[in-house]
């Protein structure tokens, strides 16, 4: 099957390419002025990144930097080590960064590229479903601090994104399924065909190399592109649409669950639980039909994602939700649906509705 190219319009337009064996496209995206390329890769993926490094050394001076695994990459000391290495390597404004790994690597690498000399070219090569459909597209980069996730960051659009589906072959099944949480979220907020595909296929058929997986990934990337192009700097949407905030469907409770579980619950898993929670909330606020609440449960559960949580008291999760970045003052805000593809903001739901929605996903008081 040939590659698919999706264009991201905006002040700094770029393409997202989905297909197989895409590394050969890197020189054309990086451009002719680049002399040095820093490859910031997930340290666990040293074997997988080697062909990319081998190709780049034919064209550039290459500095390959292995990053600590997962979230441990997204820290100020790791960013600082990368800046020092770029300095020692003599990286100038016209040089470039290539990131290779899951969302933690693309976030850290994107942040280093955004801040080195106030911004150098970056190309993302995401290696997880989640990074392909979410982290690598849209220009958000960031690192964590002691106070929470993604609190320091910058908007920095990549020069290109290469989603090489062959790289998913080594991804552990739990990580693969967690990425589908964000894909199914895109189905609810914008593209019901995603839900139809999930419902029409067995979870066992959603393998790294299946055509349906490819279609799901492409559709989810299209949803993300459409949303970010309409709201590049997260300033808000038009005509009642929540803008980029819609991508946070299910995320307010998800972030609280991730923190509460000490990050034992994966992001995509927490999003599945959080989406069922806001569907219950929307039903109580009178806007979402009960059958669609049930459709949330069945769609996420069908691929093996959790839809209940009972490891925290309601009070603990409510307090954790209040410090979420998306909250305003003391008032909780949620993206909810009136129907599939019809999102809006629900600000300040009643304590009774919040409690009832939490009870409906199996939570205690």
Q: Which two tokens stand for residue 31?
A: 């451009």
> Nearer Cβ to ligand NAD, position 134 or 218?
134
When asked if residue 135 is in the footprint of ligand NAD (CB under 6 A), the reply is: yes
Contact residue for ligand NAD among 3, 15, 35, 44 (CB under 6 A): 44
Please tell me the distance from the alpha carbon of residue 296 to that of residue 184, in angstroms, as a whole number.
9
> Nearer Cβ to ligand NAD, position 102 or 349?
102
Q: Let me know if 58 is exposed, middle or buried by CB neighbors in 10 A (0-12, 13-18, 19+).
A: exposed
Q: Name residue, tokens 């309601």.
A: 314
When asked if residue 140 is in the footprint of ligand NAD (CB under 6 A), the reply is: yes
Task: Report the nearest approach of ligand NAD to the CB of residue 116 (Å).
Answer: 18
Single out the segment in contact with ligand NAD by CB under 6 A; choices: 103-111, 116-124, 156-164, 338-346: 103-111
Catalytic (active site) residue 260:
no
Please tell me the distance from the alpha carbon of residue 160 to that of residue 195, in angstroms, as a whole number.
28
Catalytic (active site) residue 124:
no
Q: Are 53 and 39 in contact (CB under 8 A)?
A: yes
Task: Report the nearest approach of ligand NAD to the CB of residue 285 (Å).
Answer: 27
> Nearer Cβ to ligand NAD, position 116 or 358?
116
When asked if residue 226 is in the footprint of ligand NAD (CB under 6 A), the reply is: no
Q: What are the φ and ψ backbone dihedral angles of 221, each rounded to 5 degrees?
A: -65, -40
Interface mask (CB under 6 A) for ligand NAD, residues 266-285, using x and -?
A: -x------------------
CA-based R_g, the chain, Å: 20
Q: Are 91 and 84 in contact (CB under 8 A)?
A: no
Q: What are the φ and ψ backbone dihedral angles of 250, each rounded to 5 degrees?
A: 80, -5
Q: Are strands 14-19 and 4-8 parallel, antiparallel or unpaired?
A: antiparallel
Q: Are 253 and 282 in contact (CB under 8 A)?
A: no
Q: Name residue, tokens 């595909």.
A: 197
Interface mask (CB under 6 A) for ligand NAD, residues 165-184, using x and -?
A: --xx-xx---x---------
Catalytic (active site) residue 248:
yes
| Interaction site with ligand NAD (CB under 6 A) | 42, 44-45, 69-71, 74, 101-105, 107, 127-128, 130-131, 134-135, 138, 140, 149-150, 167-168, 170-171, 175, 267
């Amino acid at each position: 099957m040939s590659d698919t190219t999706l264009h991201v319009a905006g002040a700094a337009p770029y393409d997202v390419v989905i297909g197989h064996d895409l590394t050969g496209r890197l020189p054309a995206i990086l451009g002719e002025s680049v002399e040095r390329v820093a490859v910031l890769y997930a340290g666990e993926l040293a074997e997988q990144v080697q062909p990319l490094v081998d190709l780049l050394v034919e064209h550039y001076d290459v500095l390959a930097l292995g990053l600590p695994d997962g979230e441990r990459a997204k820290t100020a000391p790791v960013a600082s080590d990368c800046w020092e290495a770029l300095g020692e390597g003599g990286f100038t404004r016209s040089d470039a960064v290539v990131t290779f790994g899951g969302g933690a690597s693309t976030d850290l690498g994107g942040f280093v590229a955004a801040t080195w000399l106030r911004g150098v070219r970056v190309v993302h090569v995401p290696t997880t479903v989640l990074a392909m459909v979410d982290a690598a597209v849209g220009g958000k980069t960031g690192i964590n601090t002691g106070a929470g996730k993604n609190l320091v960051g910058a908007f920095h659009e990549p020069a290109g994104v290469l989603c090489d589906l062959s790289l998913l072959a080594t991804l552990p099944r739990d990580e693969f399924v967690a990425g589908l949480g964000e894909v199914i979220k895109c189905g609810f907020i914008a593209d019901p065909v995603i839900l139809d595909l999930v419902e029409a296929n067995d979870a066992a058929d959603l393998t790294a190399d299946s055509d349906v997986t490819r279609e799901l990934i492409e559709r989810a990337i299209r949803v993300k592109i459409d949303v970010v192009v309409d709201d590049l700097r997260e300033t808000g949407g038009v005509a009642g649409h929540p803008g980029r905030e819609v991508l946070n469907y299910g995320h307010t409770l998800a972030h609280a669950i991730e923190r509460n579980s000490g990050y034992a619950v994966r992001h995509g898993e927490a999003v599945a639980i959080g989406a069922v929670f806001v569907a219950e909330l929307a039903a109580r606020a009178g806007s979402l039909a009960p059958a669609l609440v049930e459709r949330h449960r069945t769609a996420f559960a069908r691929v093996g994602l959790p839809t209940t949580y009972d490891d925290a008291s309601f009070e603990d999760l409510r307090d954790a939700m209040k410090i979420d970045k998306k909250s305003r003052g003391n008032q909780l805000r949620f993206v909810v649906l009136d129907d599939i593809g019809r999102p809006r903001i629900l600000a300040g739901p009643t304590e009774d509705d919040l409690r009832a929605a939490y009870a409906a996903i199996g939570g205690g008081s």
